[in-house]
């Protein structure tokens, strides 16, 4: 499998929405992706496997803080390193934009995602009770401190 991580382009949004609907109980709308794609404080990455969209990640980055907003890989291509490579790309972009901390929320029950984020160096830092709907569930807050001399993620 040939994997590429590139900036997400508008012409990939329909495919992005298909993956989003497949992976999320409350999917983002086309307009939400379009807004994020064109926002100067956002970055959107696309992962292609053998030329086909396999996943995407979105992030906002404002001053020293970055937040992973969305990360998804089509179910049939999971457990192949695509999400980890997307995460590496988002973290690199956050560093390039001067971020000192990257934050995210994850469903408490999403053990696979939590393991991915821990592998990338994120640590638990709090909880938002009842944050998710469909089904109602707590969000675990995680963060990664970025320092010039330290890189917890194996780039």
Asked if 47 and 84 touch (Cβ cutoff 8 Å), the reply is no
C-alpha to C-alpha distances, 74 to 8, 23, 41, 57, nearest whole angstrom: 16, 7, 26, 12
Of 117, 123, 132, 149, which one is the catalytic site residue?
117
The reply to whether 105 belongs to the active site is yes
Of 100, 105, 131, 137, which one is the catalytic site residue?
105
Q: Which two tokens stand for residue 93?
A: 């972009």
Give the integer Cα–Cα distance in Å for 120 and 96: 17
The reply to whether 117 belongs to the active site is yes
Prior bond of 47 cis (ω within 30°): no
Q: What are the beta bridge partners of residue 137?
A: 132
Query: Closest by alpha carbon to 22, among 76, 92, 63, 67?
Result: 76
Give the integer Cα–Cα distance in Å for 71 and 59: 9
Active site residues: 105, 117
């Amino acid at each position: 499998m040939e994997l590429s991580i590139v900036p997400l382009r508008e012409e990939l949004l329909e495919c992005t929405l298909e993956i989003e609907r497949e992976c999320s109980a409350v999917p983002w709308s086309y307009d939400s992706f379009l807004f994020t794609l064109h926002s100067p404080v956002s970055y959107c990455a696309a992962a292609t496997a053998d030329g086909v969209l396999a996943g995407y990640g979105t992030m906002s980055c404002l001053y020293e803080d970055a937040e992973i907003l969305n990360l998804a890989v089509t179910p049939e291509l999971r457990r192949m390193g695509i999400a980890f490579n997307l995460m590496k790309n988002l973290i690199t972009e956050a560093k390039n934009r001067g971020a000192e901390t990257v934050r995210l929320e994850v469903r408490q029950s999403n053990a696979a995602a939590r393991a991915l984020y821990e592998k990338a160096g994120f640590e638990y830092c709090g909880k938002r009770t009842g944050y998710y709907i469909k089904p109602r569930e707590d969000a675990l807050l995680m963060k990664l401190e970025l320092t010039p001399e330290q890189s917890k993620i194996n780039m």
